[in-house]
Amino acid sequence: MARRDKKELHDQLRMMGLVRVVAGASLIVLPRLSIRFWMGAEETGSASLRTAVRALGARDLAIGVGQLTALDSGAPVRPWVEAAVLSDAGDAVNSMFFMKDSPRLLRLIWTVVPGAFAWLGAQHAADLD
């Protein structure tokens, strides 16, 4: 694969970081709505489930902020992109194999979306110096 133009690569990584920050903040601030949107659950679960969802939000928020900060400061970005790839791949595998109680469409969406982000992130990580 041809190396991407550095500005284009950084613009795409910035957008991915922003998406991750918004997603993470949403999970933290709106865990009940996030559970409904993510799992299709009418019951938004116990306090323990909401705590777990907030923890996932904190993970995504931290990775997104780290990625954006690295892009802005000239620090190495690749470790943040690789962390995002691992978390997205884990989310995709989790959705594919363990969301059996969720509606099929949501299971498909939450397998494909993080899977696509993992693939795209891996491509971008390979293009970073």
pLDDT for 17-30, tens place per residue? 999 999 999 999 99
Distance (Å, whole) CA 70 – CA 33? 31
pLDDT tens string 66-110:
999 999 999 999 999 999 999 999 999 999 998 888 889 999 999
Task: Give me the half-sphere count of Cα atoms (radius 13 Å) on the Cβ side of residue 108.
Answer: 3
Q: How far apart are the first and last CA of the chain?
A: 15
Q: Which residue in 21, 20, 50 sits closest to 34, CA to CA?
A: 50
Distance CA 17, CA 102 (A): 27
Q: Kindly give, in sequence order, each residue whose CB lies less than 8 Å from that of residue 99, ignoring residues fewer than 6 positions away.
A: 39, 106, 107, 110
Residue 78 C-beta-side C-alpha neighbours within 13 Å: 7
Q: What is the pTM of this model?
A: 0.89
Task: Count the neighbouring beta carbons within 10 Å of the beta carbon of residue 61.
Answer: 20
